[in-house]
Chains A and B, each alone.
Chain A
Amino acid sequence: MAIITLPYRYLERLSGTDRQTIIDRVPMIGADIERIEEDHVDVEFFPDRPDLYSPEGVARAMRGFLGIEEGLPAYTVRPSGITFSVDPGLAEIRPYLGSAVIRNVALEGEAIESLMALQEALHWAVGRGRGKVAIGVHDLDAVTPPFRYIASPRDRSFVPLDFEQEMTMEEILTDHPKGRDYAHLVENFPRFPLIVDADDRVLSFPPIINGELTRVTTATKNILLDCTGTDKKAVMTAVNIICTALAEAGATVETVAVDGQEMPTLAPAERVVSVGECASLLGLPLTGEEMARLLRRMRFGAEPDGDSRVWVLVPCYRSDILHDWDVFEDVAIAYGFENFDAALPATSTVAQEHPIPAIAGSVRSVMTGLGYLEMMPFTLSNERVLYANMQRDPSPGTLRLLHPISEEQTVVRTDLLPLLMEMLLANKHRELPQRLFAVGDVVEACVTYQKVAAVSIHPAADFSEAYAAADVLCRELSLSYTVTESADPAFLDGRRGDIIVDGRNVGVFGEVHPAVLAAFDLEHPAAALALDLKAVPGYPVPPGTP
């Protein structure tokens, strides 16, 4: 999540309102206040609104929301005359380049920090960790156009940012901190992306690190922007957001000709939306006039187009507007979520319990009637608990997590009894007898179904107790069953039975094997049972699949 620092002084200057108004109102455009400090406030903005990742962008939005300045922000661009070429050899490496020149920037005070923070936040939200888009800002006056974006041999050297000596690009990947962080993005390519000027001096090794040569400082007056990446749309989103943020702070934007194409245009996108569709989605009796007025508060250009439509200009920095409903959400935000009149629709439906929770409910009623206490163990477990401790072979359908987070949770449970044994261990210091049961999901070979297991531990726990409980459970669930001697190694030979329904083995009960008790560090006899609920009449077919 992007947490943006908004210094009050800078924000007040940019927005034309006071800090308290902003703190009070900013959550209502879609934000969570993280921390309120002496000289700044930290605010979390949503991942679909990277245009709000700077004080300049927030000020622009709040001026509209508070009615200080409405409608589409006007950005003029004129040609800089600077050209940038893209090497066709980059097509398989990092093909897209976006660029712009920004003149007369004022980077004293909070402005330079805000620019650096915006760059970092965009790297995360738009650039997906610099893979999709990486951004470089350069002191234009330190280099000479035209510029070239080339696929360079890997042993080319230059002085990277924060270093004093030349390093080869390969050395940067192993020895520079940024090189190590982002090496995975380029290390498999035969050549590396590189940006050079007319004198073949290095500006940047995207997406890794800029050259020290074009370091931006508070004294920098003119900026050259490069955004490189693998997704053209995302590259231009980053260019537009940075250019318009700097323009909001008073700079002027000039275009660069990238392979002959002048960019950026900072031009809005047009959309014609339906008033009726918006009104029925939001449940508001809106006219085209009202809709347009609300959209101008969200900094759209908007005019009614006849009675039934609104002509909308979407600012170039609003990359989240994919669909007409995205526009309608802005209508709702401008209207104010607090002003909506909550109501229930006339929709008439009949409630219907799902058969699986219904069966589980019956199991609970039987087991609690027998004096058992319910447990709700984790569904993630490990093979030691599920199989080794139980002296059982792993189920062939066991699902293993590809990237487990701990040794305790590496597989999805296929049975509940081992987890109850673990619970007995955790409750060893509590008064006996303890009778525990659990009913819930297990998964084998991607198929989710339900089981019940129960265990009773006390000095007199025996086969008869397990058999009696299994018999009650089956009878109460309308299961006609027979019992045969079991071979389940988790139970004692001669004191274990399999529950057979329609010729299928659907459960087991008996006296828990002393070696299993020892594996769970338990000291008293235990009687246990387990039953597959698929056997219960009325169980829905098929069970849960992906």
Chain B
Amino acid sequence: MELTLNEKKLLVVLGSMGSADAAVLAEKMDSRREAVVQYANLAGERGLVDVEKHVSRRYTPTEEGRAYIGKGLPERQLLESFGETIPMRDLQSHPLAKIAIGWMRKKGWIAIRDGVVQKTGATAPGPDEAAFARLGESGAIEDGVGVADLAKRGLVQEEEAVAYTVSITPRGRELLAGGLDLQEEAGTLTREQILSGSWKDLPLRRYDVTKLPKRAYPGKTHPYQRLIDEMRRVLLDMGFEEMAGGIVQSSFWNFDALFQPQDHPAREMQDTFFLGERWPLPAGYERVRDMHEHGGETSSTGWGGTWSAAKAEQCVLRTHTTSLSIQHLAQHPNPPVKAFCIGRVYRREAIDPTHLAEFEQLEGIVMDEGVNFRHLLGFLKEFYAKMGFEKVRFRPGYFPYTEPSVEPEVYVDGLGWVELGGAGIFRQEVTAPFGIEHPVLAWGLGISRVAMLRLGLRDLRQLYRSDVEWIREMPTYGGRR
């Protein structure tokens, strides 16, 4: 049994006294009463002492009560201020008359007839006066006859007093008889103790391992960033090159280069954030214009009509990272290309728990000789499996810049099949103007949806206006639901 030094000191004192009040012990031990109670409780848990708690009620005078101490209750003072009789009018001029006359009548000390006050003779002190007298002597009284009356009159107030009596048990005596080492304990190990070797004989204070430490919070990356980094690692592991680029894009790169017709609803101000700025068209933009107007050199008919260069110069906040993919391909038209990008994209949507005006999109492209639709499905299966979605299925889809297009669905426990992203092979109308001669497999997904599934979120806004507590509590590893 390892006792603290304080417990040992307590046992030594109790060895001579047997039993004592904690306040007395505190004086002997040169300590505070509260501290002694704490040591006693520790020793009590080991069965070395008994701690008895006494709760007692006592009464002390109120401010009004203090004013009467030594003089007696007001009715007694008033009674003694006159002889057998006194005219009521005269009595009323006494400063205590207001309180005292009522009490004198109530106690039957006086009778009033024809405006004259007459003593009845039955004026012996009652129990309340006796109690009040004791209060005057000792400053406080225990409960007893008459005290309740004083309390009711607001002359005394109740106080709760707690006392502890500590007694040594036979087991404590036994231990004490065996002798106690009263050497001081050390709280910390010092450099000097280590150097001198005195640590060998040093009684280091022991810690209670069942007590929780003070909670510390480390610096951490955002849970959503960790998910993004996980996806980046998956794609880097699969041999992809990472792309990055501007948030602001010309309509040319965001829409026209992707064969999105100029009257497409996505190009209206209801759906897309337009800016007042314009950006000059790149060299060779005429090939994109021709593709829109009549299909260029391909088997396409194009959209027909007249293509407007002015419309293509308008800047927008990118609605997808596909604008970066097509620019990357335009710069690297020769196979093979495997590239990906994770970046913020913008839609003109009112913000609510499941819709935001900005969110992250992931996009991957693969261009090589001989790649085909089966390979697109292969990449999708591989990527989703690495993200923890083992079951994937495919349905026909529609995206303006891919043909064929596919909508992948993943199976999520508790939710069933969930549509996650879109994919397809870039249309020749998209690739031909940039001299890209081989199929481009492309897929993308809004990863805030994955974050909702993985982080168990109900409100997407939590990702961008985060509660510090949420980030502090979300484990760095194993954040999966």
Contact = CB atoms under 8 A, between A and B. Distances in A.
A356 B324 CA distance: 15
A357 B244 contact: yes
Contacts of B368: 345, 347
Which of A233, A377, A378 gathers the greatest number of chain B CB atoms within 10 Å?
A378
A385 interface: no
A346 to B, nearest CB: 9
Which of B221, B366, B370 gathers the greatest number of chain A CB atoms within 10 Å?
B221
A302 to B, nearest CB: 16
A446 B382 CA distance: 37
B248 A448 contact: yes
A448 B246 contact: yes
B174 interface: no
A342 interface: yes
B398 A373 contact: no
B466 A324 contact: no
Nearest to B253: A546
A388 interface: no
Interface stretch (B39-47, B108-116, B181-189, B372-380): B372-380
Contact of A371 (B219, B225, B275, B304): B219
Contacts of B299: 271, 273, 323-324
A341 B374 contact: yes
A403 B304 CA distance: 29
Interface in A336-363: 337-338, 340-345, 347-354, 356-357, 361
Contacts of A325: 403-404, 425, 427-428
Contact of B239 (A323, A326, A332, A348): A348
A364 B403 contact: no
B464 A332 contact: no
Nearest to A330: B404
Nearest to B375: A345
Given A323-B299, A338-B394, A374-B225, A352 B429 contact: no
Contact of A368 (B221, B381, B400, B463): B221
A332 B373 contact: yes
B244 A380 contact: no
B275 A399 contact: yes
| Chain A, interface residues (CB within 8 Å), range | 35 or more
A283 B295 contact: no
Interface in A315-339: 322-326, 328-329, 332-333, 337-338
B375 A546 contact: no
Interface stretch (B18-26, B59-67, B144-152, B346-354): B346-354
Contacts of B348: 403, 405
B243 interface: yes
Nearest to A233: B304
Nearest to B359: A378
B32 interface: no
Contacts of A352: 241-242
B245 interface: yes
Interface string A401-418: 111111001001000000
Interface stretch (A142-150, A428-436, A483-491): A428-436
A525 interface: no
Interface stretch (A22-30, A76-84, A171-179, A500-508): A22-30
Contacts of B72: none
Interface string B268-281: 01000111110100
A322 to B, nearest CB: 5
B246 A323 contact: no
B192 interface: no
Contacts of B405: 329
A280 B338 CA distance: 19
A448 B275 CA distance: 14
Which of A368, A375, A546 gathers the greatest number of chain B CB atoms within 10 Å?
A546
A344 B428 contact: no
Interface string A80-110: 0000000000000000000000000000000
A400 interface: yes
A60 B349 CA distance: 37
Contacts of A337: 394-396, 406
A354 B404 contact: no
Which of A48, A373, A406, A447 gathers the greatest number of chain B CB atoms within 10 Å?
A373
Interface string B218-246: 11111011000100100111111111111
Interface stretch (B95-103, B153-161, B467-475): B467-475
Contacts of A443: 246-248
Nearest to B346: A380
Given A322-B429, A380-B358, A357 B395 contact: no
Given A128-B263, A128-B265, A368-B221, A351 B246 contact: no
B371 interface: yes
B465 interface: yes
A412 B277 CA distance: 13
A480 interface: no
B275 A401 contact: yes
Contact of A374 (B222, B249, B335): B222
A401 B347 CA distance: 12
B317 A412 contact: yes
A441 B341 CA distance: 14
A282 B441 CA distance: 11
Nearest to B347: A405
27 contacts: A28-B395, A28-B396, A30-B398, A233-B304, A273-B299, A281-B425, A282-B373, A282-B374, A282-B404, A323-B301, A340-B394, A342-B380, A343-B375, A343-B378, A347-B338, A349-B337, A351-B239, A357-B232, A357-B244, A364-B221, A376-B463, A401-B274, A427-B468, A430-B469, A446-B277, A447-B246, A544-B246
Among all A-B residue pairs, the 9 with the closest Cβ atoms: A544-B246, A283-B372, A46-B398, A283-B374, A30-B396, A342-B377, A368-B219, A329-B404, A354-B242
Given A349-B240, A349-B338, A351-B237, 10 more contacts: A340-B373, A344-B379, A348-B336, A367-B219, A375-B222, A403-B274, A406-B350, A446-B279, A446-B315, A545-B248
Interface of B: 217-222, 224-225, 229, 232, 235-250, 253, 263, 265, 269, 273-277, 279, 295, 298-305, 315, 317, 335-338, 344, 346, 348-351, 357-358, 366, 368, 370-375, 377-382, 393-398, 400, 403-406, 419, 425, 427-429, 439, 463-469, 471-472
Interface of A: 27-30, 32, 46-49, 128, 132, 231, 233, 271, 273, 280-284, 322-326, 328-329, 332-333, 337-338, 340-345, 347-354, 356-357, 361, 364, 367-380, 399-406, 409, 412, 423, 426-427, 430, 434-436, 441, 443, 446-448, 543-546
